[in-house]
Amino acid sequence: MKRITAHPVLEVKARQEVDFTFDGLPVKGLEGEPVSSALFANGIKQFSIHKKDDAPQGIFCANGQCSQCSVIIDGMPLKSCVTPLRAGMDVRTLVHIPELPHDDEPCFLSRLETLKTDVVVIGGGPSGLTSAIELAKLGFDVTIVEDKEKLGGKLLLQTHKFFGSQEDSFAGTRGYEIAELLEKQIREFPNVTVLYETSVVGVYKDKKIGVYKNNGKYSIIDFEGLVISAGAREKSLVFPGNDLPGVYGAGAFQTLVNRDLVKASERVFIIGSGNVGLIAAYHALQAGISVVGIVDIMEKVSGYKVHADKIKRMGVPVYLNTTVLAAFGKEKIEKVTVAEVDDKWNPILTTARTYETDTLLIAAGLTPVDEFYDQALEFGFKAVKTGDADEIAEASSAMFGGRIAGLKMAKMLGKEIEIDRSFYEKAEILKSKPGIVFEPVPVIIKQNLTPVFQCFQEIPCNPCTTVCPKGCISLVGKFGNIMDTPTYTLDECTGCGLCVAVCPGLAVSLAKRIDEASAEVILPHEYLLSFAPGDMINVTDIDGNILEKAEVKHIRLNKKYRTHLVTVKMSLNNASKAIGIRVQDESVTKPCAETLLPELPDNGIVCRCERVTVKELVDFIKKFRVRDVNQLKQIRAGMGACGSKTCSVLYPRIFKQAGVDYYDVTGGTVRPVTVEVPMNSLIEGEVE
């Protein structure tokens, strides 16, 4: 079984093991975990065989948004990522189109349940929870519709400490812990109802929404206001082999590894150097998974510099101005080829190189799940959207944006309140993009412990200033807020190490001079310990260069922040540069001796459900002068089970490749029912 049995941050609890079968063979899983996670834990990554060309299919989003993970469960085609495992389940590979089960039993009638509430909040992630809290405080009845078994959304997948403001957005606290804090607050309000494992099926003109409640019953909710906080979908990318099992979104990887504690891979390669891609590398290393490398077509890292720095010093290379040419494998990905690009983003084939990997993570951005908001406005409902459904940003920003959205909804519903202007100002700061990178200022190592900051970029973050018991650390810069960078301004450090432990970027150390040649340095470490006092370990600088082998003198775990503080003895000359401890060996990141190049550059899959390629779409658009997305349905594009949620995001690029300005193209029709609902849940209903 491929399970994570030890983790430097997460508590690994014992869970009930159950027996089930896959394609007739006995396997084991954990009671209640998603079937997809149970299959991954058994090393099974191929879930279906496509009807078009017998291509193997695996997961993509692991979030119920697509249908890549569909399998046959007890005779029914179901999404394995949102179906809980139960003992005795008969799970089978979905081959082509599933057969309708034989059933001679008559349908029975039951009354259709209708619920009533003041405000429906779609999505129990960070923004949905904070908006619900604000509305509940003002006395509104709130119903949160959450499609998972726990509240928190993407917070549940995050083991890293959050940036932002400690006062306003729990900065310095790990994501899954923030989810627990917000859920605890929600439970304090009797006027908040949470519908777990419930999906919104559609928004209807008569001011009602349909929900698939508890993944088993269709119900109606009558409401006055709607808060859309449904998050975002992962974007796909087009390249040959992009549909192989093992090629999927970084969020799906975090779900498997951090939520379900499945060791989903041995060697991952990551596309995208935004915060999602960088954090996925961090999560992989924590789970004992090798990270072969990260590529980005842009010329600089798009995520926070401190995120990239902590990954590089762990031994993960980040290749910029580089793109993926193709993924290779038979029944699953085995290798990936990348190449540098020129100033017009064309690949330079002479720079191509191939790497061995069993997982290729796509972290190329997110698409807001905001279609319910558009429908609500079309029908004239009172509605607001927040979090990633409104604007893709960090979860710290989403939490504060949710508060504002809740207050906006309260005003729409007639509450006479004024929203503090400072709320808007704080929200803008929290969603700020990374700013200027400053040159490091030389630090003199003294005989008493002194903080050394390797945080040189303007980002919204202040935990180190708030935890220092002596107030020794201040933010200094042009902004006068949390975008400024930390500076040691009062020479009274006690050596408590709180600034080292709390820093989300692992960018603070403490150092003191022992004698004219040596020093002691306290370094943060959030990975499984592979050394002990007395061992010699490789200590790195901010860019991942090994400075020297240093002796481990002491290891202390800060229990509150779950960060190891490792004291090492090293040379005085390198003490101010030291910030990391190498985690993985350089040999993991070496390319293969032979470079594989794709033979068919146009065979990248755009519509994953129906397997429609770039060439098929471009040829069709040119031949028939297509100016309406709905016309593409003639060749099955957008007609699959996901309802074009994945491929529609790629259409602008495809039309451009066909020589058509996408602004001149009519958008596709959105399906009225956005989530699959078993037919018997609908036909058995009888309206009151």
Summarize pLDDT for 261-286 with one digit per residue, the tens: 999 999 999 999 999 999 999 999 99
Confidence (pLDDT) at 152: 95
Mean pLDDT value across residues 617-630: 95
Q: Looking at the structure, tell me whether residues 577 and 455 fall in a common domain.
A: yes
Task: Let me know: does 86 contact 18? Beta carbons within 8 Å.
Answer: yes
Q: Looking at the structure, tell me whether residues 514 and 547 fall in a common domain.
A: yes
pLDDT bucket at 116, cuts 50 / 70 / 90: very high
Fill in the amino acid letter for 534. Answer: G
Tell me how crowded residue 36 is: count the other CB atoms within 10 A of its CB: 29
Task: Let me know: does 92 contact 80? Beta carbons within 8 Å.
Answer: no
- Of the candidates 661, 618, 668, the one whose C-alpha atom is nearest the C-alpha of residue 638 is 668
Query: Which string of DSSP letters, residue by residue, matches 327-357?
Result: EE-SSS--EEEEEEB-TTS-B-GGG-EEEE-
Residue 310 has pLDDT above 70, yes or no: yes
Confidence (pLDDT) at 100: 77
Confidence (pLDDT) at 688: 46
Please indicate, yes or no, if residue 595 is contained in any of the structural domains: no
Task: Let me know: does 521 contact 570? Beta carbons within 8 Å.
Answer: yes
**Sheet with 335-340: strands ordered across:** 322-328, 335-340, 353-356
pTM for the predicted model, two decimal places: 0.91
Q: Looking at the structure, tell me whether residues 563 and 463 fall in a common domain.
A: yes
pLDDT bucket at 106, cuts 50 / 70 / 90: low
Cα 413 from Cα 406, distance rounded (Å): 11
Confidence (pLDDT) at 675: 75
Residue with tokens 């403001």: 165
Q: At what angle do helices 175-187 and 395-412 cross, to 10 degrees?
A: 30
Task: Let me know: does 363 contact 281? Beta carbons within 8 Å.
Answer: no
Q: Looking at the structure, tell me whether residues 21 and 131 fall in a common domain.
A: no
Fill in the amino acid letter for 598. Answer: P
Q: Looking at the structure, tell me whether residues 269 and 157 fall in a common domain.
A: no
Range of the domain at 193: 111-232+368-430
Fill in the amino acid letter for 256. Answer: L
Residue with tokens 């927040």: 386
- Of the candidates 530, 491, 496, the one whose C-alpha atom is nearest the C-alpha of residue 510 is 496
Decide which of 533, 554, 589 is a domain's last residue.
Answer: 589
Confidence (pLDDT) at 687: 46
Cα 680 from Cα 108, distance rounded (Å): 9
Please indicate, yes or no, if residue 155 is contained in any of the structural domains: yes
pLDDT bucket at 500, cuts 50 / 70 / 90: very high
Cα 255 from Cα 262, distance rounded (Å): 9
Q: At what angle do helices 395-412 and 126-137 cross, to 10 degrees?
A: 40
Decide which of 332, 362, 392 is a domain's last residue.
Answer: 362
Tell me how crowded residue 673 is: count the other CB atoms within 10 A of its CB: 12
Residue 685 has pLDDT above 60, yes or no: no
206, 207, 210, 213: CA torsion to nearest 10: -140
Q: Which residue has the higher pLDDT, 1 or 640?
A: 640
pLDDT bucket at 107, cuts 50 / 70 / 90: low
Confidence (pLDDT) at 237: 92
Both tokens of 22, joined, read 């896959």
- Of the candidates 582, 588, 569, 577, the one whose C-alpha atom is nearest the C-alpha of residue 519 is 569
Please indicate, yes or no, if residue 597 is contained in any of the structural domains: no
pLDDT > 70 in the chain, percent: 97
Task: Count how many residues are written for the chain.
Answer: 688
Grouping H, G, I as helix, E, B as strand and the rest as coil, residue 633 is: helix
Q: Looking at the structure, tell me whether residues 271 and 216 fall in a common domain.
A: no
Task: Let me know: does 156 contact 150? Beta carbons within 8 Å.
Answer: yes
Average pLDDT for the chain: 93
For the ranges 126-130, 259-263, 322-326, 364-368, the lowest mean pLDDT is seen at 364-368
Query: Which string of DSSP letters, residue by residue, matches 227-281?
Result: EE---EEEPP--STTTTSTTEEEHHHHHIIIIIS-B---SEEEEE--SHHHHHHH
Residue 599 has pLDDT above 60, yes or no: yes
Q: Looking at the structure, tell me whether residues 344 and 310 fall in a common domain.
A: yes
Cα 66 from Cα 504, distance rounded (Å): 32
- Of the candidates 334, 321, 319, the one whose C-alpha atom is nearest the C-alpha of residue 241 is 334
Confidence (pLDDT) at 683: 66
Q: Looking at the structure, tell me whether residues 174 and 263 fall in a common domain.
A: no
Decide which of 336, 362, 388 is a domain's last residue.
Answer: 362
Residue 601 has pLDDT above 70, yes or no: no
Which residues lie closer than 8 Å to 103 by C-beta, 6 or more apart?
none
pLDDT bucket at 95, cuts 50 / 70 / 90: very high
Domain containing residue 403: CATH number: 3.50.50.60
Please indicate, yes or no, if residue 442 is contained in any of the structural domains: no
Residue 612 has pLDDT above 50, yes or no: yes
Mean pLDDT value across residues 94-114: 78
Residue with tokens 């029709």: 669
3-state secondary structure 264-279: CCCEEEEECCCHHHHH
Q: Looking at the structure, tell me whether residues 454 and 570 fall in a common domain.
A: yes
Confidence (pLDDT) at 110: 64
Give the pLDDT confidence of 505-523 residue by residue, as tens digits.
999 999 999 999 999 999 9
Tell me how crowded residue 383 is: count the other CB atoms within 10 A of its CB: 23
Please indicate, yes or no, if residue 439 is contained in any of the structural domains: no
For 200, 220, 371, 393, 463, the CA distances from 402, given in Å and listed in that order, are: 19, 25, 18, 12, 22
519: left (phi over 0), alpha (psi -120 to 50) or beta: beta
Give the pLDDT confidence of 120-166 residue by residue, as tens digits.
999 999 999 999 999 999 999 999 999 998 999 999 999 999 999 88
Task: Let me know: does 458 contact 434? Beta carbons within 8 Å.
Answer: yes
Mean pLDDT value across residues 593-605: 82
Both tokens of 455, joined, read 């945080």
**Number of folded domains that form the chain:** 4
Please indicate, yes or no, if residue 21 is contained in any of the structural domains: yes
Residue 255 has pLDDT above 80, yes or no: yes
H-helix or E-strand containing 599? none
125: left (phi over 0), alpha (psi -120 to 50) or beta: beta
pLDDT bucket at 411, cuts 50 / 70 / 90: very high
Between the two ends of the chain, the Cα-to-Cα distance in Å is: 49
Q: Looking at the structure, tell me whether residues 149 and 192 fall in a common domain.
A: yes
Residue 351 has pLDDT above 70, yes or no: yes
Q: Looking at the structure, tell me whether residues 571 and 456 fall in a common domain.
A: yes
Cα 146 from Cα 193, distance rounded (Å): 11
How far does Cα 458 stand from its chain's mean position?
Answer: 23
Q: Looking at the structure, tell me whether residues 193 and 47 fall in a common domain.
A: no
